[in-house]
Each structure stands twice: as structure tokens, then as C-alpha cells.
A and B are shown apart, each in its own frame.
Chain A
Amino acid sequence: MRNFYLLLALLVFLVLQAVLAPRIALGSIAPDFLLLVVVFFALYRGSVRGALLGFAVGLLQDLGNPDHLGLNALTKSLLGYFVGDAGTKTFPESVTILFGLFAVSALGHDVIYLTIFHWPRVGSAFVTVVTAAIPSAVYTALFGVLVDRVFALAGAKVVGVFGKEG
């Protein structure tokens, strides 16, 4: 049953990414809802499951851009693993720390993604990181905090979707 709810949550975030993200994008600056779902899941369920979901979500995203099939899978696996690893040590309760975690996760993900995407033109990757990735990370982090607040208001039922133990 928990897996069914997880699939449902994934579908909701997928729809948000497909429908809402392009509409609220400011040029190349847009929130990454699929990154948020990986971060939330990894925080609640640890590094192994985080990495596995990251790979699956990334692969799903890559299907729309087969020229770089495997790139999102790689970056989101790493994201799920490292966020999950951090989450098992301490779960960030403070909004500021949570915002920082989302922003750093999104930025780290984009730095790896853009470096490989633009390789060997590292200069182009740097420009895109400065002009698009940093503002996008802040944008994504804002939505991350918003989603966390929604989860907090909805209580244990919604948190259970991601499987927080105890």
C-alpha cells in the first residue's frame, strides 16, 4: 500500500513538473519538482532507496531527452544517495536548514549535470551554473520548503507516503 501511495506522489510531482514548472519558469530558471521528490524520499528512507528512486526518476526524465540518456539517472542517483546519507544522520527540522539542504542539493545536482552536458566546454557549463542553476536552486528550495510545510500541515498521513519510520 505504501508503494502505491509513493507511486501516486511520484505521479503528482511528475504532473507538477510537466504542467506547472514551465508555466512558472522565469526564462531558464524553473523549479525542479522531480528533484524535490528524490530529496524528500531520500531524507525519509535513506541512501539506498534514495539512490534507487533517484535512478528511476532520472531515467524517466531522460526518456524525454535521449541524446543524454542516463545523465539524469546518474545525477539523481548521486543526489538520492548523498541526501539519504545526510538524512540518516540527522533530519533537518529547521526551515532554514531545510532550505539550505534543498538549495545545495539542487545546485550540486545541476553542477554535475551541466558539466557533463556541456563537456568539454566547461566555460559554458560555468555560465549556465551562474545564470540558471543558482537561481533555479533557490527557486526549487523555496518550493521544497513550501511542500514540507504542506506535509507538516497534512500530518503523519502524508509523511507516511514517503515512509518516515517511527
Chain B
Amino acid sequence: MQLVETVIRKHRDKTVLAVLISASIALLALPRATRLDVASRALGAIYLPIEKWTAFAEGVVAMRDENLRLKRMVATLMLEREHLLQYRDERERLRRLADFKEGQSYQLVPAEVVGRNLDRLQTVLVIDKGSDDGLAERMPVFSYQGLVGRLDRVFSGTSWVRVIASRNSPVSCVDRRSRVVGVLEWRQRNVFELTGVNSVEDVQPGDTLVTSGFGGVVPKGFPVAVVTRAAPDDDGLSLRVDARSPVKFASLEEVFVMTERVPWDRSIFYEEADTLLMREILEVAP
């Protein structure tokens, strides 16, 4: 015992290193469930307050520009909404005539990004909504620009989003124009590659790639990326298709989680839009 004490005292630095290495290896050897539990508890206590302050500071800086941009967007959307309402009525009439299945809309839960994986592989975002808000694992996550990813882990007040701009997160997509199907895989930043496309198929730069709905996680028809390059591969058999997502994954602040589908004519968005419009009119009125 005395010998051990002497050795530790003599080699204090090496002892400290040995203890730290042992502790790290012990953490790496923990069962996955325990690791996730430890991380989620610590995340709530340490990370989230820091990330909330950071996001708040960033938000204040960006708020003025965002406000102007949103005002322009609202004005445009209100005009578009009028057209859409007309189209909706017309569509419903035609659907009834053709005896089609009832159309569907989606219930979206807005959430704020309060944390990011600090690892350079950048695969996970932390959002401030969880199972208390009706979220569940595998639900798709969107931003204004397009598909962001899916919920990987859901806790009571927070959730982890595995973004599509990460390794091992392929998305089944279809070319909106030519209906060519492929698998979209991340390459770097917001650059993707559509794989599994034959050289004879019709994919052209400028085409929009939308979700195919084949995986059963993300409903079909949601924009994911735009084709930037399509050329035959070296083997001549397949087509090399590069695409770019409009989503700025590194600076996402708000996202929407798709929780459920609701019938089109019961969509809450119209009621919400009407409420907002009425409030605007009442505030402006003398």
C-alpha cells in the first residue's frame, strides 16, 4: 500500500492520465441505454441553458431582418392563400365528381433548435419539444426550405433530430418532373447525390427532388433538393446526379415536426390565417 502511495506521489501526472483514460474507457464501455440516459440528463442540465442563451443572442441580432422578410412573405402568402382557397373548392368539387379518396393535410408542431452536436460530423440537432408536445420517434422534421430529418430520440421536453445531411441518413426521392426514383445520400455540407439512377433515365439540372414516401417515415411530395448536375458515370451504366438542399443545416433555428395527417378541409391553417388577418385588420383600424 505504501509502495502504491509512493509510486502515485512520484508519478502524479501519469497517475492522473491513467485515471482519466480508465474513466473514458469505462464511459465508452457503458451500455447504450445508460449512455443515452446519462447524456440526456447532463444535456438538460448543462447544454440547454447555454444553447438557449446563444440562440437568444443570435435571434435578437437576426430578428429585424427576419421581421421584414416575414412581412413580405405574409403579404405574398395572403395573396396566394386566396388563390388556394379557390383551388381547394374547385378541387373538392372535382374530387367529389371523380369519387377520389379524401385529400389530406398535415399537422405541424413548430420547434426551436436549442442545441447542436458539437462534433464535426454534425449529425444531431436538439429541439425544445418532446413527448409532452405529442412528438414521437421517426416523425419527419421540416424547415421552410424543405426536409431537415427525422426524430431520433424523444424525451419529455426535448428531442434529437437526425438531419439528412449526415452519414447513414439516406432519403428515398423522386424527380418531380420525370418521376425517376433514387436514393438521396449526403456528401458534404448541403450537397447530396441521388444514387441508383440508370444512365437512360431522364434527370436534368434544375429538377426538384421530392420525397417518394416509400420509406413510410416521410410522406411523399415534400421538396428535399434541387438537381445541380446530371451526367453519365464513368461506367456508362448509371447517372451521376448531384443535388443541393436549400436548407441551411448549420444555422437552422426553427423547424416543424409533422405529427399527424388531418383532412384537408379541416386543416387548422385556414382558421389560423383568418384569425391573424382579423387581428391585423382590427389593429390597423382607427
A19 touches B189 (CB 8 A): no
Name A25's contact: one of B28, B117, B250 (CB within 8 Å). Answer: B250
B118 touches A61 (CB 8 A): yes
> Is there a chain A Cβ closer than 8 Å to B273's Cβ?
no
CB neighbors of B among A123-166 (8 A): 132, 136
B35 touches A55 (CB 8 A): no
Q: Which A residue's beta carbon lies closest to that of B189?
A: A27
Separation of A18 and B46 alpha carbons in the complex (Å): 14
A15 touches B54 (CB 8 A): yes
CB neighbors of A among B46-75 (8 A): 46-47, 50-51, 54, 58
- Interface segment among B11-19, B94-102, B197-205, B259-267: the answer is B11-19
How many A residues touch B, CB cutoff 8 Å? 47
Once A60-B46, A66-B36 are accepted as A-B contacts, the answer to whether A18 and B28 lie under 8 Å apart by CB is no
Q: Is the interface of B mostly helix, strand, loop or mixed?
A: helix
A65 touches B117 (CB 8 A): yes
Closest CB-CB distance, A90 to chain B, in whole Å?
17
Once A66-B36, A73-B20, A77-B17 are accepted as A-B contacts, the answer to whether A61 and B119 lie under 8 Å apart by CB is yes
Separation of A116 and B16 alpha carbons in the complex (Å): 22
How many B residues touch A, CB cutoff 8 Å? 43
Closest CB-CB distance, A144 to chain B, in whole Å?
16
Separation of A74 and B13 alpha carbons in the complex (Å): 15
A27 touches B188 (CB 8 A): yes
> Is there a chain B Cβ closer than 8 Å to A93's Cβ?
no
CB neighbors of B among A58-75 (8 A): 58-74
A62 touches B27 (CB 8 A): yes
Name B23's contact: one of A32, A34, A55, A66 (CB within 8 Å). Answer: A55
Residues of A within 8 A of B38 (CB): 66, 69
> Is there a chain A Cβ closer than 8 Å to B39's Cβ?
yes
B50 touches A11 (CB 8 A): yes
Closest CB-CB distance, A155 to chain B, in whole Å?
27
Q: Which A residue's beta carbon lies closest to that of B16?
A: A48
Once A48-B16, A64-B116 are accepted as A-B contacts, the answer to whether A14 and B250 lie under 8 Å apart by CB is no
Once A66-B38, A69-B38, A69-B39 are accepted as A-B contacts, the answer to whether A28 and B25 lie under 8 Å apart by CB is no
Separation of A62 and B25 alpha carbons in the complex (Å): 13
> Is there a chain A Cβ closer than 8 Å to B10's Cβ?
no
> Is there a chain B Cβ closer than 8 Å to A51's Cβ?
yes
> Is there a chain A Cβ closer than 8 Å to B30's Cβ?
yes
Once A74-B25, A81-B17 are accepted as A-B contacts, the answer to whether A64 and B124 lie under 8 Å apart by CB is yes
- 10 A–B contacts from the bound complex (CB under 8 Å): A18-B50, A22-B251, A25-B189, A26-B189, A51-B13, A60-B118, A64-B47, A64-B119, A65-B117, A70-B27
Interface residues of B (CB under 8 A from A): 12-13, 16-17, 20-21, 23-28, 30, 32, 35-36, 38-40, 42-43, 46-47, 50-51, 54, 58, 115-124, 126, 188-189, 191, 250-251
Interface residues of A (CB under 8 A from B): 11, 14-15, 17-19, 21-23, 25-28, 30, 32, 34, 46-48, 51-52, 54-55, 58-74, 77-78, 81, 85, 116, 132, 136
